Chain A
Amino acid sequence: MAFITANWNPLGEAFYRKIELYEMGWSLRDGLKECLVAAAPYGGPIALLRQPQRPSSSARPQLEIYSSSGANMASFPWKSGPVRQLGWTVCDDLLCIQEDGTVLIYDLFGAFKRHFSMGNEVVQNQVLEAKVFHSPYGTGVAIVTGASRFTLATNIDDLKLRRLPEVPGLQGAPSCWVVLTQDRQTKVLLANGVDLYILDNTSCTPVVRQTQTTYSLLCLIILALSPLTVCVFQTPPGLSPQACSIVNMAVSFSYKYLALFTDSGHLWMGSANLKDKLSEVDTKVRTPPKQMVWCRRPKSQQPSVVIMWDRLLLVAGECTDTIQYTLDEESVCVAELDGVRIIGGSRHELLQEVPSACQDIFKIASMAPGALLLEAHKEYEKSSQKADEYLREIKEQSVLGEAVRQCVEAAGYEHEPETQKTLLRAASFGKCFLSNYPPEPFVSMCRDLKVLNSVREYTVGIPLTHTQYKQMTVQVLIDRLVYRKLYPLAIEICRYLKTPEYQGVSRVLKHWACCKVQQKEEPDESIAHAVSVKLGEAAGISYSEIAARAYECGRTELAIKLLEFEPRSGEQVPLLLKMKRSQLALSKAIESGDTDLVYTVVTYLKNEMNRGDFFMTLRNQPVALSLYRQFCKHQEQDTLKDLFNQDDDHQELGNFYVKASYKEKKLEARLSLLQSAVDEYNKAKNEFAAKATEEEMKLLRFQRRLDEEKGEALLGLSLQETLHALLTSNFHKQAEQLYRDFRVPDKRYWWLKLTALAEKDDWEEMEKFAKSKKSPIGYLPFVEVCVKQHNKYEAKKYVSKVTPEQKVKAHLAIGDLEGAAEAAIERRSEGEISTVLSRCSPTTDRALLERLNRARSTAAKK
């Protein structure tokens, strides 16, 4: 353990350390010489574009993609135009920015995805320099063209090119520039010799520096004139007058800090808004650096800038001291959230400020609680009683909780599993002496470290630190593993962290399946089988998405096979439609029971197919057919007819014509529609309906004739209504004729005539009618109808004619209780006597009552 501090270097109050992450697995003959290199942050992949050994027209540069540990992931000759800059997007896609402004996008494995252009203007003027930057909006690209104009795209997934205003006096590329994201705005800060400018969407603002006294004077004058104008001039405060020209600049990972390097070898550090100065250091190196990056960490004690020259790496902070490392090979620095990674031809290192927790514990002769706890545990393992002494000491200060916390935290910052273990064991040891220390931080740190160690593994090659991991979240880490096709590891991690299936295992499996279906050499059968076996019953898997991917790859058959596994038939429909499997789509839609889907498919089919096929399809699907019929009933009456025609459904066709006839105003058209209906009914062998329709036609003609002759408005009335109308208007002859022609049942006719006569109060005619022949409805109706018209006198005339069975009723109807009683007693019917009795009131003749009661009892005896 004594060696832990061996690689620590002091910088002011803080320490810096450089840890080796990997020995690179690649074999590059010339290291990183003559290479365009891009490495993605968060331990992302590295892309190299190597210029050919012997420059000749036929030789192509080679594009290679490696993991952080140097394992080759892709390698292919570059056949496109000359590349200015490489860069990685936030989702691990490689951007290759060409001289002509075209940006090509490749995935991790070197498969071409798409391309876009940075504007037409660039094609002539060429890209001089380009930068890829990350902002909350995604990955952006900034270029400066031969015409010294800047163009920005803030998010390449939602491409909006912004051409920035001209910079006065700028010829060719500026000496150095960076992209800043401030106040939700993307700006460019550039230096042209001694001048500094800020470029935003609308303007180019010069930054006035107080390098010369004349400037200061000018400033003073302006100040005196109007204090408000001061704010126009932003200056890096306190940039010493010796500095003449800015040759390099760097902005921190968080866009909060800015570092400027002048040709006099001075390094200015301050806030990115140029308002505050952190420090200024004289590096005493006057050569322009090759690369300059910020090296910070959250809660940094001593933020610093790492400057790289050919053979020298220099760390400069707020204090005047610097740390210097010699570099023995060509290297590239990658800024990270909490340090700088240095990638060389043979090694991959991490340079970072030693976190305070580690400092407290490992600093020589540290008496911090964590350090004491670690010591105590060491002694405990040696079975020495000193352990107790150390523990006592911690407990006396009552800082044991703090000690455990420190050990847990420090474990997260250590890269070596052994050190992690030692620290965690110490923490767990300390925890034993605490009664209510919450277990969560310890447990989650153990979990996190297990995950981190597994992805840092050489074969995986993602050297994430704990800080980065927390910033990045597990979700994103899983995504990255999936992009790298490390499905088993991703699933293991999901299971280990107990991520909910839907976001975890199922998602990984879906990606795996999507990748699987792209394997062209395997037959459909085996892929479908493999997918179904592996995915099995995993929750929340959408087979339709996988099938959609298969279809995109041109494997329709496979897509259909995969869709079979989709349990929700509704999900299958859109893709099936897309694949033009409309019949299948229709049956799936029906299976899903979702009428909306059925409608969707039906409308689609209607537009896609010719009519005959469409109808045939519907015919086999009654559910869809009835839905479509409903639709047609309201929207397209004629289609409905065609549908019935197609099916030879004569009955429905007949109904259709009958219905249509009611909408028709003109009689002739109406008759012809009804005739069509008759024909159809005949074809349907529905004689009854045919006859009824024929009679209706006959009736209509009859009505018309009568309307013309007599001016009666009869058209459209039913037979009964017509008869009634005729009878009430004294057209007895015509009524008779109708009665005969339409074979109206006698009973009905009698009823009709009876009521009609009563309504007209034509009692004479009624009497004649009653005597004309024997009434088929009996004579009780006569009585009732008269009573209804409040004519008891007429009613009485018919009582005598009523059959004996109905006599009681008839008498009661005219209110003749005595008559009713007589009739009832005569009939000796108990029920009828009771009815009469129930109609008796207290005022009824007592004698009558007695007679009735007696009669009832005799009737009951029988």
Chain B
Amino acid sequence: MAHSVRRDAPELPDFSLLKRLARDQLIYLLEQLPGRKDLFIEADLMSPLDRIANVTTLKQHDVDKLYKVEHKPIVSTSDQMVRGCFLYPLTNWFLFPDVVNADKAFGRFRRYKIIFSPQKFYACENLLEEQGIFGDVTTDEWSFYLLPLDDDIISLELPEFFRDYFLEGDQRWVRTAGSALHLLHSVYGPFSKVYGIGRCSKMAYESWREQVEEGEQRARQAEIGNVFLIDRDVDLVTPLCSQVVYEGLVDDIFRIKCGCVEFCPDVTSSDKSIKVMLNSQDKVFNEIRNEHFSQVFGFLSQKARNLQTAYDKRSGMNIKQMKTFVSEELKGLKQEHRLLSLHIGASESMMKKKTKQDFQELLKTEHSLLEGFEIRECISYIEEHINRQVSMVESMRLLCLLSLTENGLLPKDYRSLKAQFLQSYGIEHLLTFSNLKQLGLLVEQQPGETLTVMESRVGKLVNDKTAGKLTDAFSSLAKKSNFRALGRRLNLVPKSDEEYDLRVPRDMAYIFSGAYIPLSCKLIEQVLERDGWTGLEEVTRMLNGHEFAVTDARVKTDSQRIILVMFLGGCTFSEISALRFLGREKGIKFIVVTTAITNSARLLESMLDNHA
């Protein structure tokens, strides 16, 4: 891909400040409990904590030992321990282990402090009170909202957001999102324009505004120009597609966790797995992360040749040159060498999995679904997929993709596919189907198209009237994806008869081998181009509305070309790649804030109900 970065591309703000803020607050909280103490960390918080404060830092602040807390009673540890500090995410606040009563049973007295992150709920205290240990522990909150994963990616690390909000209608995290926005606003703001689409976006926006009005305002240099908020359920198709951009593919196959991936032995070609941080610090990765997978190998071999040339320079050197070479370049080269071999290993392993016939066919089916072409064959492909038990999540993904692109399945197909799925993967997926239906991911086509159109219109009227007061969390029941119409209007699916040159991408479709431009990114592009929603009325109507655009006339800023995009419910690496591409084309920089990095597997696994 041509890396023709526009010269005038603005600089991104420095997000390491967010880390520093979080670390300082944590240390302050730890020091509130004086003396040596043990730290118990809830499993979900382990990786994010590691990115904020490492073990050495914690030990410097009187932390003796670190323990991982899982969803089971803690076995009391050393008798030496007199003070314990729990770091707890609000997600699982009702699962707080009852250590204190266990201690009491042993006749031990220890001082405990529970730190909830990112917020403390009054209800937490209530629960402690009900357990009868309210007096024995002190509670506090660690307002750790944002974890910068990379120069342009910030995560709220709330993977449960998607299920909690969109499926369960639990608005717990809306305020958290608002607070996160508030934090960004107070450190990097003020923002001159805020666009958004989706109900959750709107609520998060309102929550943020409220917090702005409550707090004091300081005039400062704006480092972020515009903000775009988008609900995940505006575009569910994109995260369900197979990712073929390098970073996305790594995530699909090896699962990137908190910006860190564990490469298994067959990648590292040694007998142990290696944990690698994947971000822009890794020079090799930085150059291939946004590339279509088919281009990566060529690039890597070129890179390897360059490296060899750099090594070869040695041969013609005198002693002095050699000395400078060793002291200055060699270390960098070695590092690069190590990374290069890792990524080559990774792509080899991916190649093995992905160039096989069935992956090609899978992609072909996906593309047919997106294009709306040869649907019957797709259905029989899916059927075969289910029958052969290739993979439960993959089967479900294809089913959902089919339903989303086709506006629901025909009743006959719906029944037979579901029945076959249950036979294949077990009846517990009856619950999963009920969840998928509720979310509108997998639905039955309503008989009579005209009727549903009427229905959605009436539904819209009702919604508008009561939108402010009543939040019908289950409105998605009547929701339709309208994917075809949207695709036509926004030109999401390029004509398939043209050859798409993946080396020189023309548009964002390259992230899906030229088959589909992600709806979410296309919307962002359109709104930024039009400076609002005018002209997109038809589109927003099909997306169920809730769009807004607010301009703060007071803010005059030079950083108009830095745009913060906040995904409520998660976004994929492919979307980030698409936005980076868009940024390069337009000479703007995107900062992606997301509740979590997601992909099709994570999205669908969160719909499963067998964990309870």
Which residues of A does B touch, CB under 8 Å?
568, 590-591, 593-597, 599-600, 603, 622-623, 626-627, 629-631, 633-635, 651, 655, 658-659, 662, 688-689, 692-693, 695-696, 699, 717-721, 742, 744-745, 747-748, 751-752, 755, 777
- Does any Cβ of A come within 8 Å of B434's Cβ? yes
A623 touches B431 (CB 8 A): no
Contact sample, A vs B, 11 pairs, CB 8 Å cutoff: A590-B471, A599-B126, A630-B172, A655-B609, A662-B428, A688-B415, A692-B418, A699-B427, A720-B425, A747-B384, A748-B424
Q: Determine the chain B residues whose CB is within 8 A of the CB of A688 once the complex forms.
A: 415, 418-419
Of the candidates A597, A693, A718, A721, the one having the most CB atoms from chain B within 10 angstroms of its own CB is A718
Bound-complex Cα distance A800 to B372 (A) = 34
B427 touches A623 (CB 8 A): no
Return A747 CB to nearest CB of chain B, in Å.
6
- Does any Cβ of A come within 8 Å of B106's Cβ? no
- Does any Cβ of A come within 8 Å of B123's Cβ? yes
Question: Per-position contact with A for B161-185: 1 when CB-CB < 8 Å, else 0?
Answer: 0001000111110110010000000
Interface of B is mostly: helix
- Does any Cβ of A come within 8 Å of B329's Cβ? no
B123 touches A599 (CB 8 A): yes
Given contacts A627-B170, A630-B168, A662-B610, 9 further A-B contacts (CB under 8 A): A568-B210, A596-B121, A596-B122, A622-B472, A626-B170, A634-B94, A659-B609, A742-B423, A752-B387
Q: Determine the chain A residues whose CB is within 8 A of the CB of B415 once the complex forms.
A: 688
Q: Determine the chain B residues whose CB is within 8 A of the CB of A622 once the complex forms.
A: 169, 470-474
Question: Per-position contact with A for B415-445: 1 when CB-CB < 8 Å, else 0?
Answer: 1101110111111101100100000000000
B430 touches A658 (CB 8 A): yes
Q: Determine the chain B residues whose CB is within 8 A of the CB of A748 once the complex forms.
A: 387, 420, 423-424
Bound-complex Cα distance A748 to B431 (A) = 23
Q: Determine the chain A residues whose CB is within 8 A of the CB of B214 once the complex forms.
A: 568
Q: Determine the chain B residues whose CB is within 8 A of the CB of A596 once the complex forms.
A: 119, 121-123, 175
For chain B, residues 588 to 612, give those with C-beta under 8 angstroms from any C-beta of chain A: 609-610, 612
- Does any Cβ of A come within 8 Å of B388's Cβ? yes
Partner of A626 from the list B207, B426, B470, B473 (CB cut-off 8 Å) is B473
Nearest residue (CB) in B for A747 is B387
Q: Determine the chain A residues whose CB is within 8 A of the CB of B423 once the complex forms.
A: 718-720, 742, 744, 748
Partner of B434 from the list A626, A635, A651 (CB cut-off 8 Å) is A651
Of the candidates B207, B422, B427, the one having the most CB atoms from chain A within 10 angstroms of its own CB is B427
Nearest residue (CB) in B for A748 is B387
A655 touches B210 (CB 8 A): no
Return A756 CB to nearest CB of chain B, in Å.
12
Q: Determine the chain B residues whose CB is within 8 A of the CB of A755 once the complex forms.
A: 388
Q: Determine the chain B residues whose CB is within 8 A of the CB of A630 once the complex forms.
A: 164, 168, 170, 172
B612 touches A692 (CB 8 A): no
Return B176 CB to nearest CB of chain A, in Å.
9
Return B508 CB to nearest CB of chain A, in Å.
29
Q: Determine the chain A residues whose CB is within 8 A of the CB of B170 once the complex forms.
A: 595, 626-627, 630
Return A855 CB to nearest CB of chain B, in Å.
23
Which residues of B does A touch, CB under 8 Å?
94-95, 119, 121-123, 126, 164, 168-172, 174-175, 178, 203, 206-207, 210, 214, 383-384, 387-389, 415-416, 418-420, 422-428, 430-431, 434, 469-474, 609-610, 612
Nearest residue (CB) in B for A587 is B469
Q: Which 5 A-B pairs have the closest CB atoms?
A: A626-B169, A718-B426, A599-B123, A696-B427, A719-B423
Nearest residue (CB) in B for A812 is B357
Nearest residue (CB) in A for B176 is A595
Return A579 CB to nearest CB of chain B, in Å.
19
Q: Determine the chain A residues whose CB is within 8 A of the CB of B387 once the complex forms.
A: 745, 747-748, 751-752
Partner of A751 from the list B175, B210, B388, B416 (CB cut-off 8 Å) is B388
Bound-complex Cα distance A751 to B471 (A) = 48
Return B387 CB to nearest CB of chain A, in Å.
4
Partner of B430 from the list A600, A692, A699 (CB cut-off 8 Å) is A692
Bound-complex Cα distance A777 to B387 (A) = 11
Bound-complex Cα distance A720 to B119 (A) = 46
Bound-complex Cα distance A41 to B609 (A) = 73
Q: Determine the chain A residues whose CB is within 8 A of the CB of B384 once the complex forms.
A: 747, 751, 777
Of the candidates B203, B210, B418, B423, the one having the most CB atoms from chain A within 10 angstroms of its own CB is B423
Q: Determine the chain B residues whose CB is within 8 A of the CB of A718 once the complex forms.
A: 422-427
Nearest residue (CB) in A for B431 is A655
Take A600-B122, A720-B424 as given contacts and tell me if A593 and B168 are in contact as well, using a CB distance cutoff of 8 Å. Answer: no
Q: Determine the chain A residues whose CB is within 8 A of the CB of B425 once the complex forms.
A: 718, 720
Bound-complex Cα distance A755 to B427 (A) = 23
Return B445 CB to nearest CB of chain A, in Å.
15
A626 touches B203 (CB 8 A): no
A745 touches B428 (CB 8 A): no
B612 touches A593 (CB 8 A): no
Q: Determine the chain B residues whose CB is within 8 A of the CB of A692 once the complex forms.
A: 418-419, 422, 427, 430
Return B231 CB to nearest CB of chain A, in Å.
16
B430 touches A595 (CB 8 A): no
Bound-complex Cα distance A755 to B387 (A) = 11
B431 touches A599 (CB 8 A): no
Q: Determine the chain A residues whose CB is within 8 A of the CB of B210 once the complex forms.
A: 568, 593
Q: Determine the chain A residues whose CB is within 8 A of the CB of B419 once the complex forms.
A: 688, 692
Bound-complex Cα distance A752 to B386 (A) = 11
B418 touches A626 (CB 8 A): no
Q: Determine the chain B residues whose CB is within 8 A of the CB of A662 once the complex forms.
A: 428, 610
Return B244 CB to nearest CB of chain A, in Å.
20
B431 touches A659 (CB 8 A): yes
Take A568-B210, A593-B203, A745-B387 as given contacts and tell me if A631 and B431 are in contact as well, using a CB distance cutoff of 8 Å. Answer: no
Bound-complex Cα distance A631 to B430 (A) = 23
Q: Determine the chain B residues whose CB is within 8 A of the CB of A717 once the complex forms.
A: 426
Q: Determine the chain A residues whose CB is within 8 A of the CB of B175 once the complex forms.
A: 593-596
Return A641 CB to nearest CB of chain B, in Å.
14
A595 touches B174 (CB 8 A): yes
B612 touches A659 (CB 8 A): yes
Q: Determine the chain A residues whose CB is within 8 A of the CB of B122 once the complex forms.
A: 596-597, 599-600
Bound-complex Cα distance A745 to B415 (A) = 13
Bound-complex Cα distance A121 to B426 (A) = 81
Return B464 CB to nearest CB of chain A, in Å.
17
B123 touches A600 (CB 8 A): yes
Return A789 CB to nearest CB of chain B, in Å.
15
Q: Determine the chain A residues whose CB is within 8 A of the CB of B420 once the complex forms.
A: 745, 748
Partner of A693 from the list B203, B418, B427, B612 (CB cut-off 8 Å) is B427
Nearest residue (CB) in A for B127 is A635
Q: Determine the chain B residues whose CB is within 8 A of the CB of A635 once the complex forms.
A: 94
Nearest residue (CB) in A for B418 is A688
Take A651-B434, A662-B610 as given contacts and tell me if A626 and B174 are in contact as well, using a CB distance cutoff of 8 Å. Answer: no
Take A626-B473, A630-B168, A634-B94 as given contacts and tell me if A689 and B123 are in contact as well, using a CB distance cutoff of 8 Å. Answer: no
Bound-complex Cα distance A721 to B423 (A) = 9
Q: Determine the chain B residues whose CB is within 8 A of the CB of A599 once the complex forms.
A: 121-123, 126
Q: Determine the chain A residues whose CB is within 8 A of the CB of B164 once the complex forms.
A: 630
Bound-complex Cα distance A655 to B470 (A) = 26
Return B256 CB to nearest CB of chain A, in Å.
28
Q: Determine the chain A residues whose CB is within 8 A of the CB of B473 once the complex forms.
A: 622-623, 626
